[in-house]
Structure formats: C-alpha cells, structure tokens
C-alpha cells in the first residue's frame, strides 16, 4: 500500500511503497532488474549457439568419417591389372634367327607403360611344389633370377622378403612367386596391378601343367630361365616377338630345356636402365 504525502506548491510527492521506496526509485529498480535478466538471457543465447555449432561440426566429422571407405573404394577403382603370359614355342622363322647367341650386340627392348617407383619390389616365394625340390633350392634359384636384374643397375629393383604360403594371382598386398594351375600353352603368367605409371603389386604363377627343373633338364621348363624372363616384366619390360630378338631374355616365347634367358642381353640391360638408370 502506498501513502500519499503532499508537497509544497500543491504538487503531490512521489508515493512511497510499503518497502519504503518511492515510485521513481522503484521504477529504476525494476529497469535494473530487467537489464540483468536481458544480460543473462544474452549469455545463454551465446552459449546455445556455441553448443549448436559444436554439434553441427561433430555431425560433419561423423559424415566425413563414414565416407572414408567409399573414398578408398573410389581410389581402388583407378587400379588396373595387366596379365602377361609367356607362351610355349611360338612362331619361329628359323632363317631369321642367328645360329649363335647375339644378345650382347642386340640393343632391342620394349617398355611396359609402368614400373616400380619410388619403392622396391618386395617379394615373397611360395616354394611348395610337386617336383621334389627343397624349399631352399627353390628360393636360391628364384632369388638368383631377381639378382640377375639387380646387378645391372644401382637402383634396388627387387628385395626378397622370405617364404610364404599364399598363392599367386590375387591382389593381397604381397608380391608372390608360386606354382599354380593355368591354361595349357602358357608356361608362366605375371599379374601386374598398377595405377598410372606406377606398379602397385606383382605376382607370378609358374604353370603346373608343365614339368619343371632347377638344372635345365631336357623335356622340362627351367625355373631360373623362366623366372629371369618374368622378373623382366616386374621391372617394367615388355615381351619382344621379333625373331631377330630370339636370344634376348625378354623374347616372348620359351621352350623345354632352354637356359639362355638366365643371362641378360644388351637390349634387356638397356631396357632396365631406361627405367632405373645404370
């Protein structure tokens, strides 16, 4: 309840409230109180906006994370596969072939559109076989084939990693040399997964349709002879089919008891150096 107290001059004095405040002071108090409420509301509004922004950012990160597998799949789509087959015998015009090995004077070579860079071809060997070869003998023979190429360049093209039980011909992030089944007429097949000009993975399968030897026996395919040729594909060299290139390691046909592909010719070395330098 307010009490009305007259002032001099006939003007009424401000009414006093029960708490002793006049009307003017009471209004200022209310305005101040309202101002404090507005300031508190403003701080809460800022806090809510920050929470909303954080929630939105979290949602964006969750959506992006869920898309990573799709992005990886899209990247995988750019990977290609080339299958290179080494055929038995083939068309040979005897008159066009030098009767003596002229590989060290033949400069011919042909490159595949890709090779190993900037990494090294780290490879594993599955020595399992049905020919009675010991694992150590298989490893020694195949690593000798790889070293035949590595000796001709300062670049480390190959690096043997050990034995493995995986098969060849499946992309699994292991570069594998192994025996396995394949169609008749094809002695060995090399699988090359690549992107652009870079090889990503390589496998070689030696065909169990054929009999194999570690010593160049007649009537059998020589492991070192064939694998030296196949490692040429790993290094980025293509087959040569001209009869004049018969004595080069990268000649695209082979035969039983053949061993001359164990050593590189001038053209083979030229091709290797074209990719990796001397």
Residues 225 and 264 in one domain: yes
Per-residue pLDDT tens over the stretch 223-260: 999 999 999 999 999 999 999 999 999 999 999 999 99
Mean pLDDT of the 50-69 span: 67
Last residue of a domain, one of 52, 77, 102: 77
Last residue of a domain, one of 26, 46, 77: 77
The CATH number linked to 237 is 3.40.390.10
- The percent of residues above 90 in pLDDT, for the chain, comes to 65
What is the total count of domains within the chain?
A: 2
Kindly tell me if the per-residue pLDDT of 3 is higher than 70.
no
Residues 93 and 67 in one domain: no
Query: Which domain range does residue 171 map to?
Result: 79-276
What distance in Å separates the CA atoms of residue 18 and residue 213, rounded to the nearest whole number?
A: 117
Last residue of a domain, one of 61, 77, 93: 77
Residues 9 and 120 in one domain: no
Residues 203 and 260 in one domain: yes
Q: Per the omega criterion (within 30 degrees of 0), is the bond before 244 cis?
A: no
Residues 207 and 110 in one domain: yes
Residues 199 and 66 in one domain: no
Residues 20 and 143 in one domain: no
Q: Which residue bears the tokens 């507005």? A: 38
Confidence of residue 96 (pLDDT cuts 50, 70, 90): low
Residues 87 and 165 in one domain: yes
Residues 128 and 259 in one domain: yes
Kindly tell me if the per-residue pLDDT of 261 is higher than 70.
yes
Per-residue pLDDT tens over the stretch 196-221: 999 999 999 999 999 999 999 999 99
Question: Is the CB of residue 141 less than 8 Å from the CB of residue 89?
Answer: no
Per-residue pLDDT tens over the stretch 124-160: 999 999 999 999 999 999 999 999 999 999 999 999 9
Which residues is 162 bridged to in the sheet? Answer: 124
Residues 21 and 62 in one domain: yes
Residues 84 and 71 in one domain: no
pLDDT of residue 244: 94
Residues 206 and 96 in one domain: yes
Question: Is the CB of residue 199 less than 8 Å from the CB of residue 208?
Answer: no
Contacts (Cβ under 8 Å, ≥6 apart) of 177:
123, 124, 125, 126, 142, 168, 203, 204, 206, 227, 230
């Amino acid at each position: 309840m307010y009490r009305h107290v007259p002032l001099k001059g006939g003007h009424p004095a401000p009414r006093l409230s029960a708490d002793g405040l006049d009307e003017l002071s009471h209004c200022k108090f209310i305005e101040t109180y309202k101002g404090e409420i507005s300031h508190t509301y403003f701080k809460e509004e800022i806090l809510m906006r920050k929470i909303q922004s954080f929630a939105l950012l979290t949602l964006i990160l969750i959506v992006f994370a869920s898309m990573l597998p799709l992005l990886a799949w899209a990247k995988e789509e750019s990977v290609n596969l080339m299958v290179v087959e080494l055929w038995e015998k083939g068309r040979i015009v005897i008159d066009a072939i030098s009767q003596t090995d002229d590989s060290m004077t033949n400069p011919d070579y042909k490159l595949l559109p890709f090779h190993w860079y900037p990494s090294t071809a780290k490879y594993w060997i599955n020595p399992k076989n049905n020919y009675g070869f010991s694992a150590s003998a298989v490893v020694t023979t195949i690593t000798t084939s790889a070293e035949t190429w590595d000796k001709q360049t300062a670049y480390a093209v190959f690096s043997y990693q050990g034995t493995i039980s995986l098969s060849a011909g499946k992309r699994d992030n292991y570069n594998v040399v192994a025996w396995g089944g394949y169609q008749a007429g094809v002695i060995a097949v090399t699988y090359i997964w690549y992107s652009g000009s870079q090889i990503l993975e390589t496998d070689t399968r030696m065909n169990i349709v054929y009999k194999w030897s570690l010593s160049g026996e007649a009537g059998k395919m020589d492991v070192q002879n064939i694998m030296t040729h196949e490692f040429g594909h790993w290094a980025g060299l293509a087959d040569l089919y001209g009869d004049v290139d018969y004595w080069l390691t990268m000649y695209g046909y082979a035969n039983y008891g053949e061993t001359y592909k164990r050593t590189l010719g001038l053209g083979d070395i030229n091709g290797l150096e074209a990719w990796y330098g001397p």
